[in-house]
Structure 1
Amino acid sequence: MIPIEKILPIWKVEQGTMISMQGDQTIAYEVVLPEFGTQSGADFEAGHQAFVKAMRVFLPGTVFHKMDWFTRAVVKADAGRAKESLLAAASERHFAGRPYLEHRCYIFLTWQPAGRKLSSSAYANILRKSIAPVEPKDERLFQNFIATCGQFERILSDSGLFALKRLSDDELAGTANKPGIIERYLFLLRPGQQPVIRDIHIREEIRVGDQQLELYTLADAEDLPALCGSRIDYDQYSTDRTKYSIGFASPLGHLLDCNHIYNQFVFIGDAQRTIKALEAKKLRLQSLSAYSRENAISRDACNDFLNEAIAQQRLPVKAHFNVLAWSDNSGERTELKNLVGSAMAQLDAVCKQETDGAPQVWYAGMPGNEADFPMNDTFDTFAEQASCFFNLEGMSRSDASGLRLGDRAYGRPVHLDLFNAPMKSGLITNRNLFVCGSSGAGKSLAMNHLLRSLYDEGTHCVTVDIGGSYKGLCDAVGGYYFTYTEDNPIRFNPFYIGADDVLDVEKKESLKTLLLALWKKDSDNYTRSEYVAISGAINGYYEYLSVNPEVFPGFNSFYDYLMSEYMEVLQHGDVREKDFDLGNFVYVLNPYYKGGEFDYLLNARENLDLLNERFIVFELDNIKSHEILFPVVTIIIMEMFISKMRKLKGKRKILAIDEAWVAIAKSGMAHFIKFLYKTIRKFNGIAALITQEVEDLISSPIIKETVINLSDTKLLLDMRKFMNKFDQIQQVLGLSDKAKTMLLSLNKANEPGRNYREVFVDQGGQSMHVYRNELCLEEYLTYTTEEKEKLKVMEYAGKFGGIHPGIAALAADIRSGQTVL
């Protein structure tokens, strides 16, 4: 047993630099990579070229070490979110304990002092019993190295694909309570884990505490694939028409489901000296080629390498790649070689398990000790080919708040801020939303989930629906639900003024619009005198109410006022019948008065304060074809939401129109949809339109010219049913080929045993992601649109005294097997 401080290769850490016992100096960056599954072939090529250009600025003697950590973790419940509501608590319980692969990426750049002896498997510091420090020399050369590192950082950052942050002294060496990157590597500590000292065993095997390490290398040109590139096709998400791209090295990264570190080493030497050495090697092989066919082949390969280096100005480098995997489970350790071997087979590479030289490679992989890497375990290549083996994808990122979705690979909950952060960053210029997907793709579940998320954040949510998709959520949040049945027809009271509302010009104008719509058909024009007379009637009515507080405001009392008080006003004012025909006016409005056919419509005595109610649903299925009721209801909805827009200062509002937009447009309300999409941004509002009809996309000028053009955020669900029409859909939606590939990959390889649908999110045509919309059982029961399931929810709600205890009891019975949906 040797105390680690005797052979620890890192002497000290100062000014953000790790200084080794041999005088090597290393700086480190934490790197944010593009999210896995979000890049096109062109994006991968751009990232690959950025690394090639960045490595060309290095001075000879520089060691580039890219380290990608992939550690298994489990989702932890957020106690703060669990307190928000029953559904939030159920969601936290559902995802708690969900396993996933956590990813961190670091880049270490090492400068070796002149004259430093190169290491090998037979000559490495790990084989010594103690190491004495050597003071670094020639500060000027090190400053030149730092300058090239700055250029390297700028080239990668300017690509727009990578973000680099240099690690500080505490992040490198650690503190008393937080381990640094060196300590984390030595003792295999997960991010956020408290410092733990573990024994390290390296004689027969590498073992850190209870963790046994296995090392698999790509260190010999014979083991490498014949061809390499920046990307490969991922067959699980590809279709006959599209090829889904992942990084060339992704099988050794995110797709390798075990605890592992993927190390990528590139050694920048003196190019001229390397070419000179290869020329001498070629001559030796030439003289030996007559004795062996292998020598002749090696000679030709060496000659081709030299020709390419000179003709195409390639940068010759030495490279090494390895996968360091570990597990404390003896059964899983036997599977590590199968897992890694399978991953390397996807690259068409040969998996080689390192045994005798494993401790030296592991030791050289320690941050700050890269210059001690055994050079006999490297191979000659060019920077272009070496960069193909870099992992270019990171894990899905989560915002501080927003819509809770799941990352595509593991279902880890991630929060997506669809509106605030993208507006601040300039990614989108409006908050409007367009949602589309084929029948059964999960549109209603996704919109229910989004509306609940917005409601929990304080948003005023108004939904116009045909089909009853939002009844469960409305009951759960205690909102107003307006629908029409014979026993309980739809009721409003536009004449009622709530405690926080006032009779302003806008309220008067909305009442005038309503009364004129009830009186005149769309084809009939009203005169100026008729408009003035109705305006006078409204003003007089509210004056009448102010002196008669016992009179309840509503259409009935307004009609009574017209027949009595206002008739006298007109008579005293000498108003001629041709200017305003009061008899005709009250006759046409008589069906809305008590005893009339529609006396219920404008005389509601409940659900009156629409301005301050934060969740309102208008379910119009039974009246969508009614010539009188539907136009009146849509006018009331329109005026109510405009009132919210203008009067609720500083509050977020959303109007979601689900499958009802066609009927609204046919009722002369197309101008309202256009107005809404063009102006709602100025009032901190969101206009959302949801449809499943592809013909709507292709044929409707409203959607093509207004909704899609003014919806910077698109939520698209499974559209593979429309494969034959997809070229038209792509053109109408303005989707790029990258977006088309991602959209057509939805639900192609869902995780077995998990019930979810995937959703494609496109913001501003620049940010594109695919997420899982996975709901816990309680959320699903709240949002379900299946009639059988909705009836069961209603049954339990009646039995247990409310929607919340009913859903909780039903979910418990389903989990226990007592009830089957």
Structure 2
Amino acid sequence: MAFEVTLPELFTVSSQEYEALHGVWLKAVKVLPDYTVVHKQDIFVQERYRSDIGKDDLSFLSRSFERHFNERPFLHHTCYLFITKTTRAQSRRQSDCSVLCRGTLVPKELQDKDTTTRFLEAVEQFASIVRESGHIRLRRLGADEIAGTPESSGILERYLTLSPSGKTPLQDMRLDPDRMWIGDKALCLHTLSDLDDLPGSVRTDDRYERLSTERSDCRLSFAAPVGLLLSCNHIYNQYLFLDNSDENLRQFERTARNMQSLAQYSRSNQINKAWIDDYLNEAHSFSLTSIRAHFNVMAWGEGSEELKQIRNDVGAQLALMGCTPRHNTVDVPTLFWAAIPGNEGDFPAEESFYTFLEQGLCLFNEETNYRSSLSPFGIKMADRVSGIPIHLDISDYPMKKGWISNRNRVVIGPSGGGKSFILNHICRQYYEQGAHIVIVDTGNSYQGLCSLIRQKTKGRDGIYFTYQEDAPVAFNPFFVEDGVYDVEKRESLKALLLTLWKRESEEPTRAEEVALSNAVNLYLSQLKTGTAATPSFNTFYEFVATDYRRLLEKKRVREKDFDIENFLNVLEPYYRGGEYDYLLNSDKQLDLLDKRFIVFELDNISENKVLYPVITLIIMETFLTKMRRLKGIRKVLLLEEAWKAIAKAGMAGFIKYLYKTCRKYFGECMCVTQELDDLLSSPVLKESVIANCDCRILLDMRKYANKFDEIQELLGLSDKERNQVLSINRANDPKRRYKEVWIGLGGVHSAVYATETSLEEYLCYTTEETEKLELQRLTEKLGGNIELAIRQLAERKRNEYH
């Protein structure tokens, strides 16, 4: 029975999960009958990434991204599991009695139909136990996948040619005295077939020092050094031979008695007797299953120099496991032959050693490469080990899987950590896939991307608003085109008026909230019936000063419950003739409905405690309008540090409301922060934002390592997620230009990815002042053609690097 195995992704498994994986294999293997061979074959082959450069619909930046990664080498991993039923006699055969020397392949004992049926049932039970664990996926291989078809090769042909792609034709095998050749590939074999070659103890997992710190622990499986961490072409074969455990122990009892009787002739017999007694005591005390096992690393290369390097690399990785590297030249043909899928029954018994099932399973490789999301929508990130692109969906696929209940996300990282860079990367790819994006920024971080979009759409999109004294941004929050003032609109108007009225340190009383809510509702009712004038802040102010004042007097509302004079006095600057009378009385509606990329740059007023929070809140309300009217289209609101302007107690309800409402209209809110104190001290951020963001994106947090306990508690991170976050940028490849980022989805799935881009994308996204100015000057010189400027600047810098 042959299966394709899908293992967990590298660096995403905790120590407890490795223990659970080990327990799953243990339970599953125990249901298999005696004289069964379990052969797990992990194949690692160096390949090159093939980009989709030829696609017609690729944008300038997407094409440069694909070109940047094209032909990059990486290690491709496939894993198979072969379960073979054999017999007692067959399992004891040695290498001098191969199937090549016999007339029949299948022993007579196994030609019985009942034996076959029982074996198939046991294997199905084995597969069910493994699948139900949720950690490992098994897929049964059919006959065509094993043997191949005229159109495609099967795993047999791929193994015999050492070509997992199946594109290499069958080639001659040559057996030299010291080496085996398959075509022009020479094999290099290291075996673990003797207890003397193994470490004194084995574990399910081990600490990976390169990504661990004093306060965090990165774990990999015990056999990971000969898995993805070994960068040459190789196959890691893992064999478990399930003999009759009781018979094995009886055989050891007889051997122990013989050693006892011969002890007087040799001290080594006494020592061997003691070792056998230890083995028997362990087996009987803990009811352990006695098995035989064998492990080998079969690597290949071309030329003596390459083989020498491969031999050294494999030996070094085995030494990391505590094993004694044993380079085997004699048994290469025999072990290559036995590892043919389905030929495990021909394994030479003398190459195996006795152990227990629990210990044997510790030498299984338990992780694989990062996998792309099974979704048409997503963003391109990079694998942190090999650096090839990964298609990652952090919105739709996690919702479908039930990992998250909303698409909102919070981005946390220190200054210079790359927050704006990754958000440029995300927003650009979202935009290219049809999303509508509204950004509130205070640092010109999106100017390059917005300019590029504006140039490509010839001004139809890529709208960049900045606040200027001679041309300030003006709104009319009381106007709706369809005349419908729903709950969302009412809530946003109340939040806006509270922001205008109360200082950050002041909290409105319940009576004030009720009075204000009544004023808004009555005014909107008059608009509906046509008894009020044109909707604007001016007419609302006049309504409160006249009709609503009389109503309050009639109801005898006390001044301490609602001080209407104070309310009108504080809001007077926004009324006709006031300092900010233009702000809320615009007679021009911002036509943003069809604009898919809009940036509000508020750097000029970021320190203005009056304008900044009001404009930020109106932009959020504008986004809500856009969100309600665009059905079935993805909408994204990105608040780059702008949330601080409205982070007061009175706004918590509205922000929470915005985050909850966003989910219902296929929307996503992204909030960005860089200060640790913001996280720990702001009740708005804690209660309204973080609580409603199922996706968390964290950048390099090393400067907060000593305070990370507070962040972990606030974000509700598990110990595994903490270890992942603190491993960011700890072992980056100096040959590549990238920064790492941790993405967590609802506490269910999390991993660290690399944000690596092409030089063209880097120049478009960069927030470094000198690089931005260099691009701006070149753009002006080229008549405003920013794409051409990016192309020329990227080419110039590439030549400088070389």
- The alpha-carbon deviation at position 511 of structure 1 amounts to 10
Aligned to 1:724: 706
Q: In 1, distance between residues paired with 2:16 and 2:519?
A: 66
Residue-by-residue CA offset, 1:133-160 (whole Å, 9 max, x unaligned): 7775111011111111112111211222
2:133 aligned with 1:153: no
1:375 aligned to 339, 349, 354, which one? 349
**AA in 2 matched with 1:50:** V
Q: In 2, distance between residues paired with 1:702 and 1:101?
A: 46
**AA in 1 matched with 2:132:** D
**AA in 1 matched with 2:600:** F
Residue-by-residue CA offset, 1:399-457 (whole Å, 9 max, x unaligned): 24412111121111111111111111111111111111122221111111122222222
2:65 aligned with 1:91: yes
Residues 1:80 and 1:710: Cα distance change in structure 2 (over 3 Å): farther
2:756 aligned with 1:774: yes
Three-state SS of the structure 2 residue aligned to 1:217 is strand
**AA in 2 matched with 1:754:** R
The CA RMSD measured in Å over matched residues stands at 3.3
Aligned to 2:681: 699
Aligned to 1:468: 444
Aligned partners of 2:477 and 2:493 also within 8 Å: no
Aligned partners of 1:99 and 1:410 also within 8 Å: yes
Aligned to 1:457: 433
1:789 aligned to 740, 747, 771, which one? 771
2:153 aligned with 1:179: yes
Residue-by-residue CA offset, 1:465-501 (whole Å, 9 max, x unaligned): 222222222222232222224465435566888xxx6
Aligned partners of 2:47 and 2:74 also within 8 Å: yes
- The alpha-carbon deviation at position 604 of structure 1 amounts to 7.6
Q: In 1, distance between residues paired with 2:719 and 2:105?
A: 58
Aligned to 2:666: 684
Three-state SS of the structure 2 residue aligned to 1:122 is coil
**AA in 2 matched with 1:245:** R
Aligned residues with identical type, % of pairs = 42
Q: In 2, distance between residues paired with 1:305 and 1:529?
A: 85
- The alpha-carbon deviation at position 389 of structure 1 amounts to 0.4
**AA in 2 matched with 1:202:** L
Comparing 311-320 with 625-634, greater Cα deviation is found at 625-634
2:592 aligned with 1:610: yes
2:42 aligned with 1:68: yes
Comparing 775-784 with 69-78, greater Cα deviation is found at 775-784
**1:212-251 equivalences in 2 (<5 Å):** 212-251=186-225
Q: In 2, distance between residues paired with 1:623 and 1:212?
A: 69
1:447 aligned to 406, 423, 442, which one? 423
Aligned partners of 2:652 and 2:688 also within 8 Å: no
Aligned to 1:804: 787
Provide the aligned length of Structure 1 versus Structure 2.
766
Three-state SS of the structure 1 residue aligned to 2:692 is coil
2:98 aligned with 1:112: no
Comparing 316-325 with 438-447, greater Cα deviation is found at 438-447
Three-state SS of the structure 2 residue aligned to 1:70 is strand
- The alpha-carbon deviation at position 703 of structure 1 amounts to 2.0
Aligned partners of 2:91 and 2:345 also within 8 Å: no
Residue-by-residue CA offset, 1:739-792 (whole Å, 9 max, x unaligned): 111111111100112111111111111212111111211111111111111111
Aligned to 1:283: 257
2:185 aligned with 1:202: no
- The alpha-carbon deviation at position 173 of structure 1 amounts to 0.4
Aligned to 1:298: 272
- The alpha-carbon deviation at position 162 of structure 1 amounts to 0.6
Residue-by-residue CA offset, 1:547-578 (whole Å, 9 max, x unaligned): xxxxxxx98xx98xx89xx99xx9xxx98996
Residues 1:200 and 1:488: Cα distance change in structure 2 (over 3 Å): farther
Residue-by-residue CA offset, 1:218-269 (whole Å, 9 max, x unaligned): 0011111111010111100111122211000000111111000000011111
Residues 1:789 and 1:667: Cα distance change in structure 2 (over 3 Å): farther
Q: In 2, distance between residues paired with 1:530 and 1:356?
A: 89
2:466 aligned to 444, 463, 483, which one? 483
Q: In 2, distance between residues paired with 1:537 and 1:786?
A: 50
Q: In 2, distance between residues paired with 1:113 and 1:374?
A: 14
Q: In 1, distance between residues paired with 2:72 and 2:231?
A: 14
Tell me, which stretches of 5 or more residues in structure 2 are unaligned? 455-461, 553-563
Aligned partners of 2:292 and 2:353 also within 8 Å: yes
Residues 1:586 and 1:807: Cα distance change in structure 2 (over 3 Å): farther
Residues 1:530 and 1:84: Cα distance change in structure 2 (over 3 Å): closer
2:11 aligned with 1:37: yes
Aligned to 1:750: 732
- The alpha-carbon deviation at position 589 of structure 1 amounts to 7.2
Q: In 1, distance between residues paired with 2:69 and 2:402?
A: 32
**AA in 2 matched with 1:426:** G
**AA in 2 matched with 1:817:** E
Aligned to 1:24: none
Q: In 1, distance between residues paired with 2:531 and 2:468?
A: 31
Aligned partners of 2:338 and 2:346 also within 8 Å: yes
**AA in 1 matched with 2:799:** S
Q: In 2, distance between residues paired with 1:151 and 1:376?
A: 31
Residues 1:627 and 1:350: Cα distance change in structure 2 (over 3 Å): closer
**AA in 2 matched with 1:212:** A
Three-state SS of the structure 1 residue aligned to 2:399 is helix
Comparing 626-635 with 196-205, greater Cα deviation is found at 626-635
Three-state SS of the structure 2 residue aligned to 1:817 is helix
Q: In 1, distance between residues paired with 2:695 and 2:499?
A: 37
Residues 1:625 and 1:180: Cα distance change in structure 2 (over 3 Å): same
**AA in 2 matched with 1:455:** Y
Comparing 328-337 with 360-369, greater Cα deviation is found at 328-337
2:721 aligned with 1:739: yes
Residue-by-residue CA offset, 1:29-70 (whole Å, 9 max, x unaligned): 001101111111111111112112211111111011000000
Aligned partners of 1:157 and 1:164 also within 8 Å: yes
Residue-by-residue CA offset, 1:590-626 (whole Å, 9 max, x unaligned): 8787x98557656889993112211222222222332
**AA in 2 matched with 1:392:** E
Residues 1:430 and 1:588: Cα distance change in structure 2 (over 3 Å): closer
2:631 aligned with 1:657: no
**AA in 2 matched with 1:402:** G
Residues 1:592 and 1:449: Cα distance change in structure 2 (over 3 Å): farther
Aligned partners of 2:483 and 2:528 also within 8 Å: no
Q: In 2, distance between residues paired with 1:276 and 1:514?
A: 81
Q: In 2, distance between residues paired with 1:752 and 1:49?
A: 38
Q: In 1, distance between residues paired with 2:139 and 2:322?
A: 34
Residues 1:788 and 1:659: Cα distance change in structure 2 (over 3 Å): same
1:412 aligned to 355, 364, 388, which one? 388
TM-score (norm 2): 0.88
Aligned to 1:8: none
Aligned partners of 1:514 and 1:636 also within 8 Å: no
Aligned to 2:558: none
Q: In 2, distance between residues paired with 1:317 and 1:577?
A: 90
1:53 aligned to 27, 36, 42, which one? 27
Q: In 2, distance between residues paired with 1:149 and 1:210?
A: 38
Tell me, which stretches of 5 or more residues in structure 1 are unaligned? 1-26, 545-553
Residues 1:530 and 1:409: Cα distance change in structure 2 (over 3 Å): closer
2:296 aligned with 1:322: yes
Residue-by-residue CA offset, 1:376-408 (whole Å, 9 max, x unaligned): 011000001100100011111102441211112
Three-state SS of the structure 2 residue aligned to 1:749 is coil
Three-state SS of the structure 2 residue aligned to 1:731 is helix
Q: In 2, distance between residues paired with 1:788 and 1:667?
A: 39
Residues 1:239 and 1:115: Cα distance change in structure 2 (over 3 Å): closer
Aligned partners of 2:501 and 2:570 also within 8 Å: no
Comparing 227-236 with 117-126, greater Cα deviation is found at 117-126
Aligned partners of 1:496 and 1:608 also within 8 Å: no
